[in-house]
Amino acid sequence: MNPLAYKFKYQRNLPHIQPPGATLFVTFRLTGSIPLAIQQELIEETERIEQLLQNIANLQVRAERAYLEKRRMFGQWDHVLDTTKEGPHWLKNPQIAQIVSKSIRYRDEKVYDLDTFCIMSNHAHVLFTPLEKEDGSYHAVSAIMQSLKRYTARKSNLILRREGQFWQYESYDHFVRNDKELQRIRQYILNNPVKAGLVQSWDEWPWTYCKYL
């Protein structure tokens, strides 16, 4: 079976769920952007949460707890990315940020409906809805991100005159449950550079985009 084919749910180090037609909030980061010790702590905490959830017999209660825990864990991952001074910050290079920006926008209306994105120094956030294919299935988030990462990594490594892994293999993704959450996530993405003290207003940041504002 094609490992990049659409799947409702799968797990590597992190759980991934893509309901048909769902809007997805994806965070992808540079390789080595989180210190290994902290990364291992976060992965182990995620595994403990998964074990805890399996012990909740009521499926509705389990689903609600899973949603809250995943939201909490995302906050921890993102806080580390926003505050760490370690690891590469290659996306500070305007040429590289431009490559990533153009690549994200190029895929709009081809494999997804693009909503919002923001590119920071060591990671990027993107909000999109994968499109339906001719066979009735959906473009898989795993295939979308592999294509995006492969292309931008090759172009960026040429600029940096380096070889090797550019992006962390696994991305952090979360499906949007309702319009209220969509608005919250959209504002979260837009305000990332504001929260980091880089600009005073989201639209001052050159690597932020929102189709619906």
Please write the tens of the pLDDT for every residue from 114-137. 999 999 999 999 999 999 999 988
Per-residue pLDDT at 66: 78
Residue 175 and residue 189 in one domain = yes
pTM for the full predicted model: 0.83
Statement: residue 108 has pLDDT above 90: yes
Do 24 and 118 have their domain in common?
A: yes
Provide mean pLDDT across the span 73-88: 79
> Are 20 and 75 part of one and the same domain?
no
Are 70 and 161 members of one domain?
no
In angstroms, the CA 169 to CA 151 distance is: 14
**Of the candidates 63, 86, 109, which is a domain's last residue?**
86
Q: Which residue range is the domain that position 73 belongs to?
A: 34-86
Calpha distance 70→49 (Å, rounded): 9
CA neighbours within 13 Å on the CB side: how many for 20?
Answer: 5
CATH of the domain at 186: 3.30.70.1290
Do 104 and 183 belong together in one domain? yes
Average pLDDT, the chain: 88
Place of tokens 């190029």: 106
Same domain as 170, residue 155: yes
The pLDDT of residue 30 is 96
Of 71, 86, 101, which residue is a domain's last?
Answer: 86
Same domain, 172 and 145: yes
Above 90 in pLDDT, residue 69? no
Q: Show the DSSP H helices in the chain as ranges.
A: 36-54, 59-83, 94-106, 141-160, 179-190, 192-195
Residue 92 included in any domain: yes
pLDDT band of residue 192 (cuts 50, 70, 90) is very high
Q: Is the pLDDT of residue 76 over 60?
A: yes
Count how many domains the chain has.
2
Domain match, 76 and 132 both: no
pLDDT band at 73 (very low <50, low <70, confident <90, very high): confident
Share of the chain above pLDDT 90, in %: 54
Residue 13 has pLDDT above 60, yes or no: no
Q: Same domain for 25 and 44?
A: no
